[in-house]
Amino acid sequence: MWGEKSYLDYSWLLERAYKYLPEKPQRNKGERFILPQFEVIISGKKTFIVNFKQVADKLNREPRLFLRYFLKEIGVPGVIEEQAAALQGEVSPRTLNRLLERFFKEYVICPVCNSPDTILMKEKKIMYLKCMACGATSPVRYF
Ligand SMILES: [Zn+2]
């Protein structure tokens, strides 16, 4: 059952994992990671996060799950349109970037070793962070 597809998926994951390793081992890797900011355009009663996929990629998060967090927290509908996220209504860039910081602290940084090199796992009604640096698995609030 070890098809070509699963091999590709595995090497993709591995490549991902290596991409986020720092050049030199650091005691507190979380401090070296620079959290990107959302670029936001408000137009025609819609809010566009122009670099949404880019940020999702940097945090190694699945864009649809990443978007779900913001939609739930803000309470508006929205969709992914190519590289951007389009939200209904006008949401201030400040609100979005504050939420991004909260997401980063709660759903990216490992609470055990502070590494941002983690995977967010979702199983039925449970979510947890798996750390690629120290191996810890930490439960997080479900969204
Ligand atoms: Zn860790």
The Cα–Cα gap between 84 and 86 comes to: 6
Distance 105 CA to ligand 1 centre (A): 13
CA–CA dist 52, 56 (Å, integer): 6
pLDDT computed for residue 39 by the predictor: 98
| Ligand 1 centroid, distance to 104 Cα (angstroms) | 14
Class of domain 31-112: alpha beta
Q: Which residues neighbour ligand 1 (ion) by CB within 5 Å?
A: 110, 112-113, 115, 131, 133-134, 136
DSSP state of 126: E
Q: What's the Cα-to-Cα distance from 123 to each of 91, 107, 127, 129, 139, rounded to whole Å?
A: 30, 15, 6, 12, 11
84-133 pLDDT, tens digit per residue, is 999 999 999 999 999 999 999 999 999 999 999 999 999 889 999 999 99
Quote the distance between the C-alpha of residue 131 and its chain's center: 14
Angle at CA 124, nearest 5°, toward 123 and 126? 65
Tokens encoding 20: 């986020």
Instruction: Name residue, tokens 């951007």.
Output: 84
Q: 108 CA to middle of ligand 1, Å?
A: 10
Cut 0.85: pTM above it: no
Specify the pLDDT at position 78.
Answer: 98
